[in-house]
């Protein structure tokens, strides 16, 4: 049967002060009143039945996530006691799903992107399910057709065409500007952005873990054996924190790409794919007034250009005069003013706030 797992464990520190530890970016009503998590959940309509959609995130966010998705059933939330990166999270999900359904085929989706149009993604997901179902030795990845030489994303290096997709020859981490330009110039038949979304049989992913990360495999299998029993929390808290902390690309995808017995296929996505991971990225989904991005009910800008104004207080007025290339974000207890070319430093600021004020503003 077909399932989907939405990974929703990010902390969103680069979107401080809106994104906080108890209410991170994937739960904020950032896109026309909907959260990024809810948008990810709705994108699965027509592909995976609602009762087969699972969310994997921090245990601390269990209640908030279930409320955001309209009282998501308890069995469809998989809680991590601590974050151990994507290889462990996906092993955990695959092992639990395989215990419940030995024939489970799972799509892995992200909870921090805007992806449009939905219909294109839905059709490609259906195709990817069919490819994964047809061959036990196939892992399917979604690659986004680049719209420019971005240094913000990792890249998939492609080989020969195969069944409407492309064989994956290798993975390239976020490149410098020169390499990004070379990848973009080579064209989408050679390089795609790595979306971090996949489709595979749960058993196939677990077998890859068994071969390439045997200790991680043993750990998630022990967790899965106890997960739907009264021993769940005790076993999770004992085993999960000791699992290898490593990404799925390093733990599984890279070694599998060199395994002649396995097949990695990349399905190209020709659509808008926006990682809402910074204030500059968020500005791209906001309403526009002239050259400015607006996410505040009350605002007044005079002679401003390329300014983002964001406020979560409908009674608070944000105003600015003569500003350019600026980020202004207001909350009840914190205000951020930042040059647009320095948004990556918000993560550094977040670390400093923790050192200076403890958890008060985190």
Quick one: pLDDT at residue 265?
96
Residue 59 lies in a domain: yes
316 in the same domain as 190: no
Quick one: pLDDT at residue 278?
93
- The two beta strands, 335-339 and 324-330, are antiparallel
Whose structure tokens read 């991005």? 293
Quick one: pLDDT at residue 162?
86
Query: Quick check: bond before 117 cis, omega within 30?
Result: yes
141 in the same domain as 8: yes
Residue 221 lies in a domain: yes
293 in the same domain as 255: no
Q: Which domain holds residue 299?
A: 279-357
Residue 283 lies in a domain: yes
CATH number where 172 lies: 3.90.550.10
294 in the same domain as 255: no
Taking 90 as the threshold, does the pLDDT of residue 345 lie above it?
yes
Quick one: pLDDT at residue 304?
98
Quick one: pLDDT at residue 45?
97
Reported as a pLDDT band with limits 50, 70 and 90, residue 234 is very high
Q: pLDDT tens for residues 281-332?
A: 999 999 999 999 999 999 999 999 999 999 999 999 999 999 999 999 999 9
Euclidean distance between CA atoms 133 and 2, whole angstroms? 9
Is the distance from CB of 46 to CB of 52 less than 8 angstroms? no
Quick one: pLDDT at residue 114?
94
Taking 90 as the threshold, does the pLDDT of residue 8 lie above it?
yes
Euclidean distance between CA atoms 235 and 71, whole angstroms? 26
190 in the same domain as 242: yes
177 in the same domain as 28: yes
314 in the same domain as 195: no
289 in the same domain as 268: no
Considering 250, 275, 300, which residue would you say is the last residue of a domain?
275
Handedness of CA 146, 163, 112, 243 (dihedral sign): negative
Residue 243 lies in a domain: yes
Long-range contacts of 21-28 (CB under 8 A, 24+ apart): 21/359, 21/362, 22/60, 22/64, 23/64, 24/61, 25/112, 25/276, 25/277, 26/111, 26/112, 27/61, 27/64, 27/65, 27/68
* Residue 139 structure tokens: 């892992």
Residue 206 lies in a domain: yes
Taking 90 as the threshold, does the pLDDT of residue 125 lie above it?
yes
Euclidean distance between CA atoms 105 and 126, whole angstroms? 12
**Alpha-carbon distances of 259 from 161, 165, 212, 244, 263, rounded to whole Å:** 18, 18, 11, 22, 8
Taking 90 as the threshold, does the pLDDT of residue 106 lie above it?
yes
**Alpha-carbon distances of 224 from 4, 24, 114, 218, 304, rounded to whole Å:** 17, 27, 32, 10, 55
**Total domain count for the chain?**
2
Give the closest residue to 120 by CA, choosing from 13, 235, 268: 268
313 in the same domain as 168: no
Reported as a pLDDT band with limits 50, 70 and 90, residue 33 is confident
Give the closest residue to 133 by CA, choosing from 3, 249, 254: 3
Reported pTM: 0.94
309 in the same domain as 193: no
Quick one: pLDDT at residue 152?
85
Reported as a pLDDT band with limits 50, 70 and 90, residue 269 is very high
Residue 38 lies in a domain: yes
Euclidean distance between CA atoms 296 and 232, whole angstroms? 43
Q: Which whole number is the average pLDDT over 335-354?
A: 95
Residue 68 lies in a domain: yes
Considering 275, 303, 326, which residue would you say is the last residue of a domain?
275
Higher-scoring residue by pLDDT: 10, 76: 76
Long-range contacts of 299-307 (CB under 8 A, 24+ apart): 306/340
* Residue 37 structure tokens: 């998590």
231 in the same domain as 342: no
The burial of 355, by beta-carbon neighbours within 10 Å (0-12 exposed, 13-18 middle, 19 or more buried), is given as: exposed
Taking 90 as the threshold, does the pLDDT of residue 10 lie above it?
no
Euclidean distance between CA atoms 246 and 288, whole angstroms? 40
Considering 214, 242, 275, which residue would you say is the last residue of a domain?
275
- The two beta strands, 317-321 and 298-302, are parallel
Residue 362 lies in a domain: no
179 in the same domain as 326: no
Is the distance from CB of 181 to CB of 149 less than 8 angstroms? yes
pLDDT over 70 percentage in the chain: 100
């Amino acid at each position: 049967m077909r399932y989907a797992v939405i990974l929703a464990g990010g902390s969103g520190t680069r979107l401080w002060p809106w994104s906080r530890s108890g209410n991170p970016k994937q739960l904020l009503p950032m896109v026309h009143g909907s959260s990024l998590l809810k948008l990810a959940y709705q994108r699965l309509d027509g592909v995976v039945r609602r009762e087969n959609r699972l969310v994997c995130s921090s245990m601390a966010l269990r209640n908030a996530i279930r409320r955001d998705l309209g009282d998501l059933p308890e069995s469809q939330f998989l809680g991590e006691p601590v974050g151990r990166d994507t290889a462990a999270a996906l092993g955990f999900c695959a092992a639990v799903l395989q215990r419940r359904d030995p024939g489970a085929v799972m799509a892995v989706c992200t909870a921090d992107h805007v992806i449009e149009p939905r219909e294109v993604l839905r059709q490609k997901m259906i195709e990817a399910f069919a490819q994964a179902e047809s061959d036990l030795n196939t892992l399917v990845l979604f690659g986004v057709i680049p719209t420019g030489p971005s240094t913000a994303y990792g890249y998939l290096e492609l080989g020969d065409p195969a069944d409407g997709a492309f064989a994956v020859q290798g993975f390239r981490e976020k490149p410098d500007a020169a390499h990004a330009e070379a990848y973009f110039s080579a064209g989408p038949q050679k390089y795609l952005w790595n979306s971090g979304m996949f489709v595979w049989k749960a058993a196939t992913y677990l077998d890859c873990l068994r071969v390439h990360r045997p200790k991680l495999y043993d750990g998630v299998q022990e967790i899965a054996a106890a997960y739907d029993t009264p021993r769940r929390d005790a076993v999770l808290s004992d085993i999960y924190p000791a699992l290898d902390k490593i990404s799925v690309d390093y733990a599984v995808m890279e070694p599998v790409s060199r395994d002649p017995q396995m097949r990695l296929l990349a399905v190209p996505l020709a659509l808008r794919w926006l990682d809402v991971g910074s204030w500059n990225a968020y500005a791209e989904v906001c309403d526009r007034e002239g050259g400015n991005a607006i996410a505040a009910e009350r605002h007044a800008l005079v002679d401003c250009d390329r300014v983002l104004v964001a406020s979560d207080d409908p009674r608070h007025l944000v105003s600015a005069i003569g500003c350019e290339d600026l980020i202004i974000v207001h909350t009840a207890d914190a205000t951020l003013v930042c040059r647009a070319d320095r948004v990556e430093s918000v993560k550094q600021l977040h670390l400093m706030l923790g050192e200076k004020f403890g958890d008060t503003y985190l």
